[in-house]
A and B are shown apart, each in its own frame.
Chain A
Amino acid sequence: MKPKPHPLVWLWYAVMAFLAIPFVFPTLWMLSASFKSAAEIFASPLGLLPHSLDLGNFGQVFRDYPFAAQYYNSVYIAVIVTAATIVLAALAGYGFARLRFPGRDLLFIACLSAMMLPAEALAVPQFVLFKLGGLINSHLPIILLQIFGSTGALAVFLMRQHFLGLPRELEEAALIDGLNRWGIFWRVMLPLSKPAMMAVGIFAFLNSWNDYFNPLIYLSNPTQFTLPLGLQGFTDPLGGVFWHLTLTASSLATLPLLLAFLVAQRQFVESLVSSGIKG
């Protein structure tokens, strides 16, 4: 027999739903604005229901702007960055946590320093380096700066802390059973690190997806742009914003992430809890 819910549970839900309004409303508003004309959006600013389900904005976003290409760029860059960050952070994190070699701590601090310096201070020297490599106007600087920049450094730090927290006895047992260092890492430590890697992955993906500064500096052609830059392109010739198109494009850029989160909500929350990262 199912236990009967406490009568106050519904009241509790009502309060929670009410408190959620400030967080949910802007997103709903953005979604509803994608179906409205430029004039309708601000005609009754609080109205969530569009007069009609007009898909014209969606057509215009794809037809008149290289939005599809920008979407593809954002997706493929974020996937590469996420995969590479996880691999790099797991390997480096394990090395810093468990291997003993001269200069280890100094190297670790050097790695962390990438996290401490603001992007603006690094912009010019980094730009000069990439120019020497002939990489301006390509996606490579954007990918490399995410993997080896502050995001990557934080990921290494998180993975190191995670490995430090795992009991040494596990490794010693594996050693006695005849596994070498790589075997210990691959067969014992990594399977225990899935939640931490997931957290690092989410973190890397979001940072890459939202990166505005590096694409601004390194890219100059709308078809090369990623979404954060592309979203700023829906303007009249002197920079006045076309809100209906900007909000439609923003909805399209947000929705997949939102859906992914809803589907995999439990894993996400678990991984964040177990890794100790918050918001």
Chain B
Amino acid sequence: MKHVVGWLLGVVLGVLGSAAAQEQVTLRFTTWAGGDALTLLQNLAAEYGKQHPGVKVDVETAPFGGYDQKIAVSIAGGNAPDVGWVAERALPGYLENKALLNLRPYVNADSQLILSDYAPTSLVLWSRGDGLYGLPFSFSPIFLYYNKDLFAKAGLPTPQEYLAQNQWNYETFLKAAEAIKKADPGVYGASLFRPDPQLWAGAILSTMYAYGGDVFNKNLTACALDSQGSVQAWQLAQGMVEGGVAPRPGEQATFASGRLGMYADQVSYSAQLRQVNFKWDVAPMPSGPAGRTTLLGQAGYVVFAASKHPKEAVAFLEYLSSIAAMKRTAQFFPPPRGILLNSSTFLNSNPLLNPKSLELAVNRQVAGARTFFVPANFAQINDVVVRYLDRLLRPGANVKEELGRVCQEVNGLLKK
């Protein structure tokens, strides 16, 4: 009898034991990263799985262009990922659909994650009321890449030298661009736009901020593209195209080809400059009448509200946001945690950029940089501006009137 009881007990314990072992949690982490950045995230996920035997993290990826569409279908189809990346401009859409988990209660309970590490402005985008719906991992200002060879050819001081003399503003910027064009008619002096017109909202925003303009008013209830500062910034851009100093919108005169004197983008663009045969460096954006304010690009980690394992998902998000993990992602994404941003780890993270220039272009600009807040239907508003881009920048355009028309359409969309 004793024998049988012992045997039964053994079976029961065995079953319980295997049930416990089966309680393995699989988290799905979604990103649009590719190449080296994807490999890094996969390594981080694998290491996390080793440190936490009950948890396995699968990394899923989709190209940037289809990323939000894919996630929307996954959420609607009841198959939402647990953790993932969200870009700043897609964030309002996710928030409006209540697709993201409020991290605040979890973060408050965790002594490891110190929110005061983050620059206060870095969390505004991710907060609604008391709620916190994401933690930024990339805090990437727009700055200026410049072709040193073209500056030398034009016999000009470089932007860094202008900066040292306290003369780096939009006047010297325009003069330099014109001189570069004059010295070599086969190149362009500068561009305030990325080659893809869909991504127009980059450097031109920095210029608008520097002239005191903006895209929307503070509450995102009205278009401000026709305000005085915005009009001045666009007039500068239009004048550059008209004078042949800047390429027309959509023209593929890329900085990497060596045919562009100055070009504004983020740190990640440096990956495109690995094999170029000219010398280049970086500098902050020029200052304007309203000061030196550049655009700050952000992307963050979020937990999706439909996650079945919110606790484990938040724990993984906190791991990705830890100092140890961010030290490793810093080579691609300037870290939003102040301790790291100003550390030698970050300044030495990018083999293509020297620490001194990186400090000038990124660290010194971050404090005054501005995040671009958008309404939930920004994709539609973006389409309106893209449609007007040719008309705004064509020779002889009346920029003020055209921007007035843009605002009429944008205001119609904002009321919806």
- A→B interface (CB under 8 Å): 37-43, 45, 64-65, 123-124, 127-128, 131, 136, 212, 216-217, 220-222, 229, 232-240, 242
- On whether the beta carbons of A123 and B276 are closer than 8 Å, the reply is no
- On whether the beta carbons of A238 and B299 are closer than 8 Å, the reply is yes
Task: Give a binary string over B267-287; 1 marks a CB under 8 Å from any A CB, 0 the rest.
Answer: 011011011110000000000
> How far does the alpha carbon of A274 sit from the alpha carbon of B35 in the complex, in Å?
47
Q: List 23 A-B contacts (CB under 8 A).
A: A38-B272, A40-B257, A42-B256, A127-B74, A127-B77, A127-B79, A131-B77, A216-B63, A217-B69, A220-B28, A221-B61, A233-B35, A234-B34, A235-B63, A236-B35, A236-B272, A237-B332, A238-B64, A238-B266, A239-B63, A240-B265, A240-B272, A242-B272
State the interface size on chain B (CB cutoff 8 A): 47
**In the complex, number of A-B residue pairs with CB atoms less than 8 Å apart:** 110
> How far does the alpha carbon of A238 sit from the alpha carbon of B299 in the complex, in Å?
9
Instruction: Please tell me which one of the listed residues A38, A45, A237, A238 contacts residue B256 in the complex, with CB atoms under 8 A apart.
Output: A38
> How far does the alpha carbon of A41 sit from the alpha carbon of B292 in the complex, in Å?
34
Question: Would A240 and B271 be within 8 Å (CB), given that A217-B73, A222-B61, A233-B34 are in contact?
Answer: yes
Tell whether B163 is near chain A: CB-to-CB under 8 Å: no
Residues in chain A near residue B77, CB distance under 8 A = 124, 127-128, 131
> How far does the alpha carbon of A212 sit from the alpha carbon of B259 in the complex, in Å?
34
> How far does the alpha carbon of A256 sit from the alpha carbon of B174 in the complex, in Å?
49
Tell whether B383 is near chain A: CB-to-CB under 8 Å: no
Instruction: Please tell me which one of the listed residues A45, A212, A239 contacts residue B64 in the complex, with CB atoms under 8 A apart.
Output: A239
B54-89 interface (Cβ within 8 A of A): 60-66, 69-70, 73-74, 76-79
Q: Which of the listed residues B63, B277, B297, B299 has the most CB atoms from chain A within 10 Å of its own CB?
A: B63
- On whether the beta carbons of B65 and A39 are closer than 8 Å, the reply is no
> How far does the alpha carbon of A239 sit from the alpha carbon of B37 in the complex, in Å?
11
Residues in chain B near residue A217, CB distance under 8 A = 69-70, 73-74
Question: Would A124 and B73 be within 8 Å (CB), given that A221-B60, A237-B271, A239-B32 are in contact?
Answer: yes
- B→A interface (CB under 8 Å): 28, 30, 32-38, 60-66, 69-70, 73-74, 76-79, 138, 140, 252-254, 256-259, 265-266, 268-269, 271-272, 274-277, 297, 299, 332-333
> How far does the alpha carbon of A38 sit from the alpha carbon of B266 in the complex, in Å?
18
> How far does the alpha carbon of A221 sit from the alpha carbon of B35 in the complex, in Å?
13
Residues in chain B near residue A237, CB distance under 8 A = 33-37, 268, 271, 332-333
Residues in chain B near residue A128, CB distance under 8 A = 77-78
- On whether the beta carbons of B257 and A41 are closer than 8 Å, the reply is yes
- On whether the beta carbons of A45 and B268 are closer than 8 Å, the reply is no
> How far does the alpha carbon of A43 sit from the alpha carbon of B278 in the complex, in Å?
12
- On whether the beta carbons of B258 and A235 are closer than 8 Å, the reply is no
